């Protein structure tokens, strides 16, 4: 039986019902297919694509073309999960018109169902304009990676009263503008809890504590693709780098030793 697509209406109801929302990043067809089949509710084609998959030092160089290309691959794999595409740096900051045009491209050319963009009060008007075009928006406040240079690095935001009030005001602006949900990234657990209680839209946390309505992680982080640094908020559920490395070494050894291919791998 065909599975039903996760919808914006459902996600909103899950907050009221207290059902936790699962979100993971996806950038390509094979991994997106596994996540979809595993029943993850939302696949986020994050602009973390830049550092995770394209080898950039951060998310800033990611282009609209990159996002559309990878969103298309993820959409092809998804039968059930909702697909959210990130608006890359400078695709929505210059003007409302550009924000609308680029959000439209992610829906029309990329095939996404929702767009996500970073910021609060500063982008309130752009969020409102995109929503008015019939495009659902997911907001993103707190440690917003497109602002790393103003933050002076990947630093937890909202520590202390004044900073917490700023993040709270940003979250309220996102809700006021009509976003259907919001990512809270890199903020103290207590602030994550407060925003979740105060807003009527679902909060999706990453480094924002357990009280958010849902959680998101970069899939490559939870699968253990790297053997170096992992942020505090990441839990590794597997060590895929180790498994892949061993398999590749075994292949190399067998080819070099004349053990692969054997008769069973040959055509008659």
Among all residues, which ones are annotated catalytic?
A: 185
43 near 120, Cβ under 8 Å? no
CA–CA dist 12, 165 (Å, integer)? 25
The single residue among 43, 130, 206, 212 that binds ligand KIV, judged by CB under 6 A, is 206
Q: And the tokens for 258?
A: 């004349």
Beta-strand relationship, 214-217 and 181-185? unpaired
Binding segment (CB under 6 A) for ligand KIV, from list 42-50, 129-137, 160-168, 222-230: 42-50
- For 250, the token pair is 């075994």
In order, the DSSP letters of 23-86 are EEE--SHHHHHHHHHTT-SEEEE-TTHHHHTS--SSSTT--HHHHHHHHHHHHHH-SSSEEEEE
Q: Which residue lies nearer to ligand KIV by CB, 107 or 115? A: 115
Q: How many of the chain's residues bind ligand KIV (CB under 6 A)?
A: 12
| Residue from 73, 84, 216, 223 in contact with ligand KIV (CB under 6 A) | 216
Tell me the two tokens of residue 129: 């304009």
Contact between 86 and ligand KIV by CB under 6 A: the answer reads yes
Between 217 and 246, how does the x/- string for binding to ligand KIV read (CB under 6 A)? -x----------------------------
Q: To the nearest 5 percent, what fractions of the chain are helix, strand and coil?
A: 45, 15, 40
* Residue for token pair 């969020």: 127
Asked whether position 119 contacts ligand KIV by CB under 6 A, the answer is: no
- Residue 140 C-beta: closest distance to ligand KIV, Å: 6
Q: How far apart are the first and last CA of the chain?
A: 40
Q: Residues 25, 126, 196, 203: which binds ligand KIV (CB under 6 A)?
A: 25
| Span 133-162, contacts to ligand KIV by CB under 6 A | 140
Residue 77 or 84 with smaller CB distance to ligand KIV: 84
Instruction: Verify binding: residue 46, ligand KIV, rule CB under 6 A.
Output: yes
Part of the chain binding ligand KIV (CB under 6 A), chosen from 43-51, 106-114, 155-163, 166-174: 43-51
> What are the residues binding ligand KIV (CB under 6 A)?
25, 44, 46-48, 86, 140, 183, 185, 206, 216, 218
């Amino acid at each position: 039986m065909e599975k039903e697509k996760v919808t914006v209406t459902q996600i909103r109801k899950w907050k009221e019902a207290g059902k936790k929302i699962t979100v993971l990043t996806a950038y390509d067809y094979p991994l997106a297919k596994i996540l979809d089949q595993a029943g993850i509710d939302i696949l986020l084609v994050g602009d973390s694509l830049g550092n995770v998959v394209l080898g950039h030092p951060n998310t800033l160089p990611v282009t609209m073309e990159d996002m559309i290309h990878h969103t298309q691959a993820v959409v092809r794999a998804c039968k059930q999960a909702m697909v959210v595409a990130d608006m890359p740096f400078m695709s929505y900051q210059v003007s409302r018109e550009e924000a609308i045009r680029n959000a439209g491209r992610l829906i029309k050319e990329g095939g996404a169902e929702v767009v996500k963009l970073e910021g609060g009060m500063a982008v309130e008007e752009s969020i409102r304009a995109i929503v008015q075009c019939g495009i659902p928006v997911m907001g993103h406040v707190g440690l917003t990676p497109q602002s790393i240079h103003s933050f002076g690095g990947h630093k937890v935001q909202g520590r202390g009263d004044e900073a917490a009030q700023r993040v709270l005001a940003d979250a309220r602006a996102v809700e006021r503008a009509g976003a259907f949900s919001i990512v809270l990234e890199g903020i103290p657990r207590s602030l994550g809890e407060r925003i979740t209680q105060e807003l009527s839209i679902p909060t999706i946390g990453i480094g924002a504590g357990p009280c958010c309505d849902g959680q998101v992680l970069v899939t490559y982080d939870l699968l253990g693709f790297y053997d170096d640094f992992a942020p505090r908020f990441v839990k590794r559920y597997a060590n895929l780098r180790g498994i892949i490395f061993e398999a590749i070494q075994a292949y190399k050894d067998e080819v070099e030793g004349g053990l692969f291919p054997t008769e069973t791998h040959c055509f008659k």
